[in-house]
Amino acid sequence: ELDEALLVRFGRSSGGALAPVSSFIGGVAAQEALKAVTGKFTPLRQFLYWDALEALPAPPPAAAECAPRGDRYDGNRAVIGEAALGALRRGRYFVVGAGALGCEWLKCLALLGAATDGGVVHVTDMDQIERSNLNRQFLFRPSDLGAPKSTAAAAKCAQLNPAFRAVAHEAAVGAPGSPFDDAFWGGLDGVISALDNVAARLHVDRMCVLHRKPLLESGTAGTKANTQVVLPGLTASYGASTDPPDDDIPVCTVKAFPYVLEHCVQWARDLFEAQFVQAPRRVNAWAARPDALAAELGQRGA
């Protein structure tokens, strides 16, 4: 027996496109391409089914709300309707962290049309862009090296959508004297957390619960990742469960501002490794093969 309501929702949404869904499909396609090129991992040899019906408005918007209007948001409008699109445009959001996940969230917000009609997206990150960031934090380019991540990410999203309004910060959430006071939290419509340490994630979670703001909690560590939607009063909060202690030290924090004992020790170890292990190893390799040095300098344009 066919579910008529489901077929109607599928028919309407199939005529549109949402940036987060496109990002997921693109990520899966890229993953399968890498599997084929490297031969290191087993590719998918079956059907992959995935849906995000929970992202659709309930009840479904009327057909007139989803009708095209000849602007760049017709693909979004066909899926979520004009009312939800208008709420996104007028919303005030806070993205905490502008690393690999933060770049993805900011890109999706810009392409969805968030903060383009009276709204604003605040983004904060204390780190500066390092060369090692360029392989996964796709908003950044070599010309951005040394720039604050939040500032560069906001500027890149403005290029994706000139109407997108973002305000960049370099302050830590929860730090004394930061601009993120009770009035700031109270004026938000939603929060996205993309942090790399548990303490800061717990603080963001507490503030969202205190001010009853919806939170999309997310994080990555190597090949591991997690997401959690927190709706105060309806779902469990991030702090309701206990994460294992942080075994890994965030590389960005070590390079930009090592402020605890463990970070300082790791910073010293990295510096020793670079100066007394890696550099002599490269010199020895060049001495053994002068042609390798010439090839490397040629690649650098020297």
Beta bridge partners of 218: 194, 227
- Rounded CA-CA distance 145/268 in Å is 22
What mean pLDDT is reported for the chain? 88
Specify the residue for token string 């000139």: 162
- Rounded CA-CA distance 166/158 in Å is 8
Whole-prediction pTM value?
0.79
Catalytic-role residue among 66, 103, 157, 252: 252
DSSP string, 27-88: HHHHHHHHHHHH--SPPP-S------GGGS-SSPPPGGGGS--SSTTHHHHHHHHHHHHHHH
Give the number of other Cβ atoms within 10 Å of residue 243's Cβ: 12
208 catalytic per annotation: no
Instruction: Answer yes or no: are the C-beta atoms of 239 and 215 closer than 8 Å.
Output: no
User: What is the pairing mode between strands 215-221 and 190-194?
Assistant: parallel
Tokens of 174: 């929860």
Percent residues over pLDDT 70 in the chain: 90
SS (H, E, C) 237-256: CHHHCCCCCCCCCCHHHHHH
What would the mean pLDDT of 265-288 be, rounded to a whole number? 84
Tokens of 91: 């919303």
- Rounded CA-CA distance 173/150 in Å is 14
H or E segment at 93?
strand 92-96
Instruction: Answer yes or no: are the C-beta atoms of 62 and 77 closer than 8 Å.
Output: no
pLDDT of residue 245: 60
Cα dihedral sign, 271-272-273-278 = positive
pLDDT tens for residues 229-265? Answer: 999 999 999 988 766 565 555 666 555 666 677 778 8
pLDDT tens for residues 154-190? Answer: 999 999 999 999 999 999 998 888 899 999 999 999 9
pLDDT tens for residues 114-158? Answer: 999 999 999 999 999 999 899 889 999 999 999 999 999 999 999
60 secondary structure, DSSP code: P
> Residue 39's pLDDT band (boundaries 50, 70, 90)?
confident
- Confidence check: pLDDT of 302 > 60: no
Q: Which of 19-33, 57-71, 81-95, 251-265 has the lowest mean pLDDT?
A: 251-265
99 secondary structure, DSSP code: S
Compute CA distances 282 → 228, 278, 285, 295, whole Å: 44, 6, 5, 13
Instruction: Answer yes or no: are the C-beta atoms of 88 and 114 closer than 8 Å.
Output: yes
- Rounded CA-CA distance 114/217 in Å is 18
